[in-house]
Amino acid sequence: PVQSDVLLSDLTGNGIAPPINIFAGLIRNVSSVLTRLADADSRSIILTPSDGVMSRLTWKDPETLSDFVKAHVVTVSPPWQEGKTAVTMLGNKVWWEIWSDEIGYGVFVRPAGATLGKTLSRVANGEVWEIGGMLH
């Protein structure tokens, strides 16, 4: 269900969910992203890597961190349909698709190929989707 009295920015204050607290913390350091997520009229989908993925990264340059966060905020209004191209705050074009062959199937964010997990939160101005990988 949609939490209609909550904005995406509200989720970054106390962590969106235990497996993605690291990414939520990074969002707080990128003012342009936080501003968008606090705007009730700006709809977005956050594609957030899990803490397991995030723990393997090291940050030396604040601009790299900012670009990384912006690459994971899709400026699209839910519902985001399969195969429909959308743009991230960094300007990258992304889409998601269900892929299958004789070996198996999966749901992936393209062109990066990160696996798409579950929807963690639905709030007034967007959604948070967990991904098993990175987009930048």
Give the model's pLDDT for residue 104. 80
Q: Which residues of the chain have pLDDT under 70?
A: 14-19
Give the model's pLDDT for residue 18. 58
In-domain check, residue 42 = yes
Domain count, the chain: 1
Give the model's pLDDT for residue 82. 96
CATH of the domain at 19: 2.30.180.10
DSSP for 42-69, please give it. --EEEEEE-HHHHTT-----HHHHHHHH
In-domain check, residue 3 = no
The secondary structure of the chain in percent helix, strand, coil, rounded to multiples of 5, reads 25, 30, 40
In-domain check, residue 1 = no
In-domain check, residue 2 = no
In-domain check, residue 114 = yes
Nearby residues of 8 by Cβ (< 8 Å), 6 or more positions away: 37, 38, 44, 46, 123, 125, 126, 128
In-domain check, residue 90 = yes
Q: In what order do the strands lie in the sheet with 93-100?
A: 73-74, 44-49, 126-132, 114-123, 105-110, 93-100, 86-87
Tens-place pLDDT, residues 117-135: 999 999 999 999 999 999 9
The model's pTM: 0.91
Give the model's pLDDT for residue 83. 96
Residues spanned by the domain of 97: 8-132
